[in-house]
Amino acid sequence: MSGLTTIDLLVVGAYFALIALVVARVARRKQTKEDYFLAGRNVGWVVIGASLFASNIGSEHLVGLAGSGAKDGVAMAHYELHAWCLLVLGWVLAPFYARTGVFTMPEFLERRYNATARWILSCTSLVAYVFTKVSVTVYAGGVVFETVLPELTIGGLSAFWTGAITTVLLTGAYTVSGGLRAVVYTDTIQAGVLILGSLCVTVIGLNELGGWGELRTQCGSDFFNMWKPLDDPDFPWAGMLFGAPIVGLWYWCTDQYIVQRTLAAANVTVARRGTIFGAYLKLTPVLIFIVPGMIAFALDKTGRIELGESDKAFPVMVQTLLPTGLRGLVVAGLLAALMSSLSSLFNSCSTLFTVDIYQKLRPDSSERTLVRVGRIVTAVIVALGILWIPVMQTVSGSLYVYLQSVQAYLAPPITAVFFLGVFSSRINAAGAVAGLVAGFVVGMAKLTVQILSGVEGVGQQLPRLLVAFGEINFLYFCILLFAFSCATVIVCSLCTPAPDAKRIGGLSFGTLSDDERAQNRRSWNAWDVIHTALILAAILSVYLYFTG
């Protein structure tokens, strides 16, 4: 069965109408700088948790994660089990962020270190967002439309271009008008639609295949084993065990794109409970994204669907298996994934540029001016996302592996600087700046050599040592880069004077006052501990089940 029926289109239309209603209500509110960028700092924990999940699960997950399931089985489940990193955010770092009242992660680095560290992280983050997160999300959205709605064309544009551009423009419009408040409340709706729609794909796919036992039979034991051999080209078990968490801690605990939701909480308790609820939701992708990819592989193997490229596993199942009406719901879920991630990206980029760059250069700017600049920046990022689509069309192989490999080259120095700074009051600005710069240069060198090695006619001319450097597995390299970054930060800090204890008071565990420690203790109770333990137990259970 192909295309969408009238009922499907009505379901999709109802989804858009609901989003438009929420945005309209939010846009009517008076918007100060704090309201536009941090939703007035009065968002509840349910909304924070749902927004954390919806922001994380983009169309690159639906396309790339399901594609990885069709190609490699549960290997990528390691990343989804990083729900524990959200707990680290809630229990370890959120109290520091809340205490300082910062708007951005680079601003926190300035408080802990100096303005140079802030500038480095601001510029690095903005460039990385445009060339990784925005571009990958837009490209993946185009793939979804190309597969699910091949007949969708406007003005001679293909379904890929029509779907990608339309969704980017619509998402940009509500992000510009409503700021973070519009983002988090639409995310809450989108998380529900996404989970419900994707769960339907899993259930119907399993039913079509003949159940879980048939899935194990068709896929084989390798697909159900998260631990690949040490020489696996993509997911060696040591790399997944020690390297992937470095990326996870960066992404969930220090990346503006994610952490901005917790900054919008009324207090530390709300922020922590938002991360706990988000961690519960983060456990679902194994079942609703990876498993559908494995089902698609099994159905293709038995001749019941024609899969083709692995990255088309999820949209092909939507197109071929789902009945009328339900297909519309799942397409709405696909749109929700794309729009929630894009809106978060647009708002995060806007916040980084406005607060960390524009306001630093023009400190006397009025609240109205800052909100206007934020809206202009959002529009610019929308345009850059569209312009980058042709480049992303050249991406080959697994989309999700591509995204994780690039992040593995960016994350280690940032993770090192944040966590060393919080756990040790001896780490100083000189060490932080040296670690950020050296780590970024080495990481980009690895990415550049890796790209050049794959270019026909260029790779053959590179020295063998450089080629070997470029061929290091991205997860192993992540571990090495993290160790190098930590060593750089520590050595440079020890070789220069210690930071002034009064200046960094309350910004590391060693400089917390008795009153601050007491406030931290009052911010949690048995509810937080019990649910944290339940999440950790669920993660351990999944690891044990998928250990073959």
Burial class (CB in 10 A: 0-12, 13-18, 19+), 538: middle
Considering only 7-11, 94-98, 151-155, 260-264, which range has the smallest mean pLDDT?
A: 151-155
Residue 377's pLDDT is 85
Residue 205 lies in a domain: yes
Most confident of 67-71, 117-121, 148-152: 117-121
Residue 160 scores a pLDDT above 60: yes
Q: What is the CATH number of the domain that holds 318?
A: 1.20.1730.10
Residue 217 scores a pLDDT above 50: yes
**Positive or negative torsion for Cα 143, 167, 250, 188:** negative
C-alpha gyration radius of the chain: 23
Residue 192's pLDDT is 87
Q: Which residues pair with 265 in a beta bridge?
A: 43
Q: Which residue has the higher pLDDT, 328 or 428?
A: 428
Residue 231 lies in a domain: yes
Mean of all residue pLDDT scores within the chain: 86
Residue 459 scores a pLDDT above 50: yes
Residue 25 lies in a domain: yes
Residue 62 scores a pLDDT above 90: no
Range of the domain at 237: 6-395+524-545
**Positive or negative torsion for Cα 502, 506, 510, 514:** positive
Backbone angles phi, psi at 452, to 5 degrees: -65, -35
Residue 505 lies in a domain: no
Residue 134's pLDDT is 72
Residue 1's pLDDT is 40
What's the gap between Cα 224 and its chain centre? Answer: 25
Q: Which residue has the higher pLDDT, 372 or 458?
A: 372
- Tens of pLDDT, residues 228-245: 899 888 889 999 999 999
Residue 397's pLDDT is 47
Give the C-alpha separation, 341 to 77, whole Å: 20
State the CB neighbour count (10 A cutoff) for residue 362.
Answer: 12
Residue 206's pLDDT is 94
Give percent above pLDDT 90 in the chain. Answer: 43
- Band (202; pLDDT cuts 50, 70, 90): very high
3-state secondary structure of 43: strand
Residue with tokens 């498993």, as numbered in its chain: 291
Residue 449 lies in a domain: no
Segment 88-108 mean pLDDT: 93
Residue 101 lies in a domain: yes
- Band (194; pLDDT cuts 50, 70, 90): confident
DSSP designation for 234: S
Residue 347 scores a pLDDT above 90: no
Residue 420 lies in a domain: no
Give percent above pLDDT 70 in the chain. Answer: 92
Residue 459 lies in a domain: no
Give the C-alpha separation, 290 to 401, whole Å: 14
State the CB neighbour count (10 A cutoff) for residue 214.
Answer: 15
- Tens of pLDDT, residues 380-405: 877 776 776 665 555 444 555 667 78
User: How many structural domains are present in the chain?
Assistant: 1
Cα separation values, 107 from 36, 319, 353, 415, 489, Å: 17, 45, 12, 16, 19
Length in residues, the chain? 548
Segment 151-179 mean pLDDT: 75
Burial class (CB in 10 A: 0-12, 13-18, 19+), 475: buried
Residue 493's pLDDT is 97
